[in-house]
Amino acid sequence: MCRERLGLGIAIGPALGLVDLRAFSKLMRRAGLTPVLYKAGQSEASAARSLGWRVLKVAEEAVIEPRVWTIDGPSRRQLRRHLRHAEQAGIRIVTSRRALPLAEMAEVNAAWTLKNRRERGFSMGRFAPELLYRQRVFLAYSRDRLIAFATFHTGAQDWSLDLVRHIDGIPDVTMHLLLTSAIEACRAEDIDRLSLAAVPAAGGNIARLVPDKALLPGLRRFKQSFAPRWEPRYLCVKGSIPLARAAVAIAAAIHYPGPHTSRLRPHGTETEIRFELPVTSCDAQEWNPQPGQASALPQITGPAHDRRPLPPS
């Protein structure tokens, strides 16, 4: 996933497969952008160092292997205590792939946003109803009231935590029960890897740019209760000055992302979702147009692509 921000072409997260940083750098510079890797894995960081890029550890990602994970053992003693308290509090977890209580979830999200001043953005998830139906959602109820939920991006053999939202004043153990339920679901579906997302690296330079620094120890302690494997994540940029500019730009994009507009549109009893994807020009040799069609695509984006001369696919 790549994002553009203030003249930076930022690739987010560990790469899927082999990395060709020279090709990535050439692609970004052709677009007039400075190439940046954010939350890169160790292999990308090593490749960047070999090319003379500046590499800075910025975060650590909590990773669970659901197939072998259990609540037993001394490292999960606190988690077992939290789960007992959750059972005593009468909290129940519901997971659904179809019918979602969107109105109640929106209320929970609004309460969380009010307490935390704003949702984060850029590389962090935001409440988007059109996306929830493509995720796995776990709902926490106290009696019949929705008090919290967690959502996960899902792949063939991996899940990644996206949103964690809750109302104010809920039992602290609620979130432990939510994530434990997700881990157990992964194990039941034979999933290899579950990411509980990343936290800023302790003492790192990026952590100094986080407004809510007081929350970081508690967030790390919460994730540590699941005894995950911590994997380092890096910021990689070519040059010292671009490194500082990228760190500030990314921190600003995360904490001040601007308004989010939902694309959810009701359509009878179904849900109509419109995705406006960018369309770039093609080389004529890569596309054999039909008679009467243009030989190449215009460089257009957004709603204008409704008029593009595309062949049937």
Cα–Cα distance measured from residue 141 to residue 178, given in angstroms and rounded to the nearest whole number: 10
Is 256 in the same domain as 307?
no
Our count of domains for the chain comes to 2
Nearest to 63 by CA among 205, 173, 227, 203: 227
Is 151 in the same domain as 237?
yes
Asked if the structure places residue 10 within a domain, the reply is no
Cα–Cα distance measured from residue 140 to residue 260, given in angstroms and rounded to the nearest whole number: 25
Take residue 171 and report the two structure tokens written for it. 């039992």
Is 85 in the same domain as 223?
yes
Asked if the structure places residue 37 within a domain, the reply is no
Is 206 in the same domain as 303?
no
Q: What is the pTM of this model?
A: 0.75
Asked if the structure places residue 111 within a domain, the reply is yes
| pLDDT per residue as tens, the chain (313 positions) | 888 888 889 999 888 778 889 999 999 989 899 999 999 999 999 999 999 999 999 999 999 999 998 888 887 788 888 888 777 778 889 987 778 899 999 999 999 988 888 888 888 888 988 888 889 999 999 888 999 999 999 988 899 999 999 998 888 788 889 999 999 999 999 999 999 999 988 755 554 555 554 446 788 888 988 989 999 999 999 877 888 888 888 888 888 777 766 555 444 444 444 544 444 444 444 444 455 544 444 444 444 444 444 455 4
Is 122 in the same domain as 206?
yes
Backbone angles phi, psi at 273, to 5 degrees: -120, 125
Residue 296 belongs to what domain range?
276-313
Is 151 in the same domain as 207?
yes
Asked if the structure places residue 50 within a domain, the reply is no
State residue 295's pLDDT score: 42
State residue 280's pLDDT score: 45
State residue 261's pLDDT score: 64
Is 259 in the same domain as 289?
no
Cα–Cα distance measured from residue 198 to residue 80, given in angstroms and rounded to the nearest whole number: 23
DSSP string spanning the chain?
-EEEETTEEEEESS-SS---HHHHHHHHHHTT-EEEEEEE-HHHHHHHHHTT-EEEEEEEEEEE-TTT--S-SGGGHHHHHHHHHHHHTTEEEEEESS---HHHHHHHHHHHHHHHSS---TTS----HHHHTTSEEEEEEETTEEEEEEEEEE-SSEEEEEEEEE-TT--TTHHHHHHHHHHHHHHHTT-SEEEEEEEEPTT-TGGGG-TTGGGHHHHHHHHHTT--EEEEEEEEESSHHHHHHHHHHHHHHHH--------EEEETTEEEE-----B----GGG--PPTTS-SS---B-GGGGGG--PPP-
Is 280 in the same domain as 147?
no
